[in-house]
Amino acid sequence: MAKNTAQIVLGHGTHTGCKRDHNEDTYEANLANSIWLVADGMGGHDHGEVASAIARNVITREVNRGSSLSDAIHAANSAIIEQSSRQGDDLPMGTTVAVLRIQGDEYEIAWVGDSRIYLYDGDRLQPLSRDHSYVQELMDQNLITAAQARTHPHRNVVTQALGVTTNEDLNVATQKGKIPAGARFLLCSDGLTEEINDEYIANILSKNLHPQELTDQLILAALEAGGSDNITVLVVAPDARTD
């Protein structure tokens, strides 16, 4: 269900998809603390789900205690590595994470992996995050195009993830900025962006609909396009008008 405060209006949802038998994604939609998070777990049943849940819980807890987003993500990384070691499994658990925090008229984001954060400013869709992925590195070196990246056989390979990268090597990317009037933020797992491109996403976010309706339409579009992975979507409208 959508929730709202005096200004911020939120839509959120997750779906297992059409080809998976369980959902390793999780998310946090906390209006009270003005923090939103998407985590896409990896490592198979009882691994990815645990990793993404740990990331959600630790990051939310640490931010509420006053930690920076970067410090909170590092704490989550340590907790996942510790849990994996305690279980003694051969297969490590890991997760991506994308976090948004809003304070007044400013936003702050942080991410690890290929879960994404976008800003729709009323005119265009702007990717705020930049994937930590093998295909992104190839694009940065001009070895493949964005169109080729969408069908590359290794497009799902991430180069950074919580639980599989030590804190010393973990690259927590961050960004801050002013919130433009009428902004809509989108946080999503790659189950959305694997199925529909940015142009399609922008077309949906441009509609004059409640963020929950936008969320539902995005998830439905990904399912109709194949739904090959778990799909998680949060749409955050900091200055929405719903009356």
Domains of the chain by residue range: 3-237
Residue with tokens 């499994």: 89
Class of domain 3-237: alpha beta
Structural element, H or E, at residue 205: helix 198-205
First-last CA distance in the chain: 17
pLDDT at 147: 78
For residue 146, the model assigns a pLDDT of: 80
Nearest C-alpha neighbor of 17 from the set 192, 203, 139: 192
In which residue ranges of the chain is pLDDT below 70? 1-6, 44-46, 88-91, 240-243
> Residue 31: what pLDDT?
85
**Which parts of 31-181 fold into alpha helices (H)?**
48-64, 69-87, 134-140, 146-149
- State the pLDDT at residue 36: 97
pTM given for the model: 0.91
52 vs 14, 60, 114, 167, 179, CA distance in Å?
A: 13, 12, 14, 17, 28
